[in-house]
Chain A
Amino acid sequence: NAGVTQTPKFQVLKTGQSMTLQCAQDMNHEYMSWYRQDPGMGLRLIHYSVGAGITDQGEVPNGYNVSRSTTEDFPLRLLSAAPSQTSVYFCASSGIGGAGEQYFGPGTRLTVT
Chain B
Amino acid sequence: DAKTTQPPSMDCAEGRAANLPCNHSTISGNEYVYWYRQIHSQGPQYIIHGLKNNETNEMASLIITEDRKSSTLILPHATLRDTAVYYCIVRALRGSSNTGKLIFGQGTTLQVKP
Chain A interface residue number, banded: 20 to 34
Write the nearest CB–CB distance from B51 to chain A, whole angstroms.
12
Tally the A-B contacts, defined by beta carbons under 8 Å. Answer: 60
By a CB distance below 8 angstroms, the chain B residues around A92 are 43-44, 102
Which residues of chain B are near A41, meaning CB under 8 Å? Answer: 106
B102 touches A102 (CB 8 A): yes
Residues of B within 8 A of A (CB): 36, 41-46, 49, 87, 93-94, 99-107
Is the Cβ of B107 less than 8 Å from the Cβ of A42?
yes
Q: Give A85 Cβ to nearest chain B Cβ, in Å.
A: 18
For chain A residues 83-105, which have a beta carbon within 8 Å of chain B? 88, 90, 92, 94, 97-99, 101-105
What are the 5 closest A-B residue pairs judged by CB atoms, nearest first? Answer: A98-B100, A104-B43, A42-B104, A99-B93, A101-B46
Given A99-B94, A101-B46, CB of A48 within 8 Å of CB of B41: no
* CB-defined contacts of B42 to chain A, threshold 8 Å: 106-107
